[in-house]
Every structure is written in structure tokens, then in C-alpha cells.
Amino acid sequence: MATLTIVRVKCNTKEDYIGKDDIYLRVNGKRYKVGRFSNNTSEEVGKSWAFDDEIEVQIWEQDEDPDDKIGEHTFHASEAGGGVKKQNYSGHGASYDLWYKIE
Ligand SMILES: [Ca+2]
Ligand SMILES: [Ca+2]
């Protein structure tokens, strides 16, 4: 059993043309609200999820019409012990960085 902690999410470039992005994660399919972002802003998350071999984290931007998926990444238990690392998510013209730790 391993633990994924998402430390912080940063918006480099937002997805919505007007207004702030409304960002949530889907962690193995389950939705977790992060917050609202304009360019070059970040939010502390500090939330952990237990998993076995791998865990998929998607970043989504909420809209009135169908939400936009910024990207997805699968983290592996074999990465455990490496300290805090950064993963970039890019899609729909947006770019987000996610800092995480696997223990
Ligand atoms: Ca959008
Ligand atoms: Ca939106």
C-alpha cells in the first residue's frame, strides 16, 4: 500500500477565455474540488489518497457545457520515497503543474 499526497496545484495558463478556471481532480474517478485559478496562481491541496500499484489523477476544468479535461497522469507505487516532485498537465491550451509526493 502506498500514499499519494497532492501538495499544491499551480495554474501557468488557464483554460477559460473569460473568468477564472474552476478546477477539480478526478482521482481514480472520484471528484475532488481544488479551487479557482487565474494565470500564475497556486492553491495548497495537502490531501492524500491510499492506493495499491497505481493511481490515476486527472485535472478537469468545470463549465456550464461539458467540462474540459486538462490532462491525466498515472502515478506508480514504485516511485515512493523520492520526495516532492512536479508533474505538468497540458491540454485545451491550458497548463497546470501539480506537486506531489508518494510514500
Ligand atoms: Ca472551460
Ligand atoms: Ca470554466
Q: Nearest ligand to the C-alpha of residue 68?
A: 1
Calpha distance 102→49 (Å, rounded): 10
Domain positions in the chain are 2-102
Q: Nearest ligand to the C-alpha of residue 64?
A: 2
In the chain, the percentage of residues whose pLDDT exceeds 90 is 99
Q: What is the pLDDT of residues 76-87, one digit of tens each?
A: 999 999 899 999
- Does the pLDDT at position 27 exceed 90? yes
Q: Does the model's pTM come out above 0.85?
A: yes
| 65 CA from centroid of ligand 2 (Å) | 9
CATH of 2-102, one of 3.40.50.720, 2.30.180.10, 2.60.40.150, 2.60.40.1220: 2.60.40.150
Q: Nearest ligand to the C-alpha of residue 93?
A: 1
Q: What is the pLDDT of residues 52-76, one digit of tens each?
A: 999 999 999 999 999 999 999 999 9
